């Protein structure tokens, strides 16, 4: 976990505090750590686990809940098979992201299709497990098809106004390496 991740958690903490100032119940964040996306992108399991362990510790110290997306999907029951097909535009965007971030053996177009299919299962699991929630993402609305259909979507910046790059795709200030993926549904940039 690097400085961008800490900045992101701090940004979410400030948002929760601001909501609490005007809405008595406040806001509770529950991070869904996208271990499934990290695996699809070809990251080593030990790296994935170490990163998410660090994020979980930091998030829990701020009273945020955390779950691995693989656990959310497993708890939601058998996945329903999606007949939804990506548009050519969606697939092109995902393929561009796959060319940049995917480290597996498949071609970028195949990885993009696998990512889309995975998201179709995951977005339904999120709806089942978090039915009264607001889905928060650092993606923009061009990726709307990847997000839960029956939840309100809140599009936000990741670490400060004007910055929407996900922290796990940012170079860490200390070592200038890209930290591994990913809290919340996305391989999209």
CATH code (residue 22): 3.40.50
Does residue 162 surpass a pLDDT of 70?
no
Q: Is the pLDDT of residue 189 over 50?
A: no
Kindly state the average pLDDT of the residues 151-168: 68
Count up the domains in the chain and report the number. 1
Between 175 and 120, the higher pLDDT residue:
120
Q: What is the mean pLDDT of residues 7-19?
A: 90
80: left (phi over 0), alpha (psi -120 to 50) or beta: beta
Q: Is residue 56 part of a domain?
A: yes
pLDDT level of residue 117 (50, 70, 90 thresholds)? very high
Q: Please tell me the predicted confidence (pLDDT) of residue 138.
A: 82
Is residue 159 pLDDT above 60, yes or no?
no
The reply to whether 184 falls in a domain is no
pLDDT above 90 covers what percent of the chain? 53
Burial 168-181 (b: 16+ CB within 10 A, else e): bbbebeeeeeebbb
* pLDDT at residue 84 in the model: 80
Q: Is residue 177 one of the residues assigned to a domain?
A: no
Residues of the domain holding 34: 3-169
Question: What integer pLDDT is reported at residue 164 of this predicted model?
Answer: 55
For residue 103, the model assigns a pLDDT of 87
Q: Domain for residue 188, yes or no?
A: no
The most confident of the ranges 41-45, 148-152, 153-157 is 148-152
The residue to which tokens 């991740």 are assigned = 5
Q: Do the Cβ atoms of 166 and 34 come closer than 8 Å?
A: no
User: What is the tens place of the pLDDT at every residue in 85-94?
Assistant: 899 999 999 9
DSSP secondary structure code for residue 86 in this structure:
-
Say whether pLDDT at 184 is over 50: no
Q: Across all residues in the chain, what is the average pLDDT? A: 83
pLDDT of residue 161: 61
Per-residue pLDDT, averaged over 159-164, amounts to 56
């Amino acid at each position: 976990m690097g400085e961008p991740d800490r900045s992101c958690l701090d940004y979410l903490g400030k948002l929760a505090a601001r909501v609490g100032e005007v809405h008595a119940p406040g806001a509770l964040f529950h991070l869904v750590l996208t271990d499934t996306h990290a695996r699809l992108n070809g990251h080593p399991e030990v790296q994935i686990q170490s990163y998410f362990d660090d994020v979980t510790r930091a998030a829990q110290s701020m009273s945020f809940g955390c779950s691995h997306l693989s656990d959310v999907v497993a708890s939601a029951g058998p996945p329903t098979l999606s007949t939804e097909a990506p548009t050519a535009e969606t697939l092109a965007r995902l393929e561009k992201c796959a060319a940049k971030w995917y480290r597996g053996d498949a071609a970028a177009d195949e990885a993009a299709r696998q990512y889309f299919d995975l998201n179709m299962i995951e977005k339904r699991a999120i709806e089942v497990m978090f039915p009264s929630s607001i889905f928060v993402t650092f993606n923009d609305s061009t990726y709307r098809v990847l997000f839960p259909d029956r939840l309100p979507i809140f599009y936000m910046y990741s670490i400060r106004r004007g910055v929407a790059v996900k922290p796990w795709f940012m170079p860490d200030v200390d070592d200038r390496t890209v930290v591994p993926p990913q809290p919340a549904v996305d391989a999209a940039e």
